[in-house]
Amino acid sequence: MRTEKDCIGERELPDEALYGIHSQRAVENFPISSERLHPLLVESLVEIKKAAAMANQQAGTLDRDKRDAIVKACDAVLAGNYRDAFIVPAIQGSAGTSANMNVNEVIAHLAQKLTPAVFVHPNDDVNESQSTNDTFPTAGKMAMLKLLPDLLVAVGQLTQTLLEKANEFEDLIKVGRTQLQDAVPTTFGHSFHAYYSLFKRDLERLRTAGEDLHSVNMGGTAIGTGVNTTSTYQHRIVPELNDLTGLHLEVAADLIDATQNCDSYVAFSGALKGLAVDLSKVCHDLRLLSSGPQAGFNELRLPRQQAGSSIMPGKVNPVIPEVVNQVAFEVIGKDVTVTMAAEAGQLELNAFEPIMFRDILANETHLTNAIMTLINNCLKGIEVNAESAAERVEQSAITATILAPYLGYMQTTALVKEALADHRSVKELLREKHLLSDHQIETLFSPASLLHEPVTVANH
């Protein structure tokens, strides 16, 4: 065992442990869950440490041997090694200080392990010219940006799949519904094209919200004033980081603003929430339209993925839309957490970035995975029960809406009421009462007329 000291006192640690006293205290102080820092958050912090060592050496404040030792240690971690040394919980107090110090301690101890002749201190050397208050938010944004491309690809594939289905179902007519009541006819092609348009907007909102994540407060240190840095470091740190990551980060125009305000996280989380809301709405539609098969809508057939009951033989549930609904509920809830955490920031710093980063990163991953399972395990295999849907249009009294310009609202209303009461079609009543000619009836009740496409109806 070895003994380490901090401003609180002493703590014994295993000799082989790469983490230090600050990391150990975090584990003891925040026993909230077993969830540790997101791997991309750790990776991004390590990349910052590597870039900072290079910038500090260029500034003449870190000697070349220490720089090389820190870089060697960072490279070892970035290669995928020593990940079990990052022990601090994802949910933690002190605005991410525990996360930053866990990385500082691991890199310092690993540097000495790999380069025994060089002494590297976690604060003085690894954390030189930095503060948790600029490294942690920068690492959070970097992690979000790293996850964003996969999400954008997933949403792009979603829109493409929906457009293909819209074309496939272009001519398949159905009853349109408002407030779950029969309205006027439409097509499944129209419905799926509307879904396509919806997610195209989500794609653009995500891209727009993601742009703000490129602006970072690196070089601002504690509150954005840049205390304990050099001008060379401030000019070199972000370019060095971009060379390592290719993320095209930019130094925020106002470092004090960028250190204390979290509106960019709220905007990005809001775009994720908007996507979740839209996914959930569409999945509700899929479940409704596929309900049954005997006692429900039964207008869509979803791919049969697994048995739906332990007691009812043959029952199959819409499990893919159901799981996407649940992911959407989770994302919406986490967005509330991000909103409240951003609102609770005080004066020169927001202390609640750990929970924001944990929830936003989880939302990006879960939405990406949910969208891909919706595409591959549901949307691609959806079929329309075209015969049943068309028959419902034929039998629906609400199709009489097209008669109002010819018979008037009151007479059309009387026809609809009679048709519903006698369980007869409006077309039957029109013929029986000789209100329109057979040619007029067939023209008015043709798919083109019902879908408001141009038709010519002679006066009767």
Which amino acids are annotated catalytic? 309
Q: How far is it, in rounded angstroms, from Cα 430 to Cα 152?
A: 53
Are 372 and 154 a contacting pair, CB within 8 Å?
A: yes
Token pair of 247, please? Answer: 């993320």
* Rounded to 5°, angle at Cα 379 from 376 and 381: 80
Distance CA 155, CA 206 (A): 10
125 by Cβ neighbours in 10 Å (0-12 / 13-18 / 19+) ranks as buried
Q: Are 358 and 90 in contact (CB under 8 A)?
A: yes
Q: Which long-range contacts (CB under 8 A, 24 or more apart) does 303-308 make?
A: 303/377, 303/378, 303/380, 303/381, 303/382, 305/377
Number of helical H runs and strand E runs in the chain: 17, 8
Cβ contacts of residue 108 below 8 Å, gap of 6+? Answer: 20, 73, 120, 121, 122, 125, 126
What would the two tokens of residue 412 be?
């059309």
Q: Is 385 left (phi over 0), alpha (psi -120 to 50) or beta?
A: beta
Q: What is the C-alpha separation between 290 and 85, in angstroms, rounded?
A: 49
**Selection from 123, 100, 98, 122 nearest residue 109 by Cα:** 122
Tokens coding 313: 């033989």
ω into 149 cis (within 30 of 0): no
Contact criterion met (CB below 8 Å) for 45 and 132: no
Decide if 140 contacts 106 (C-beta within 8 A).
Answer: no
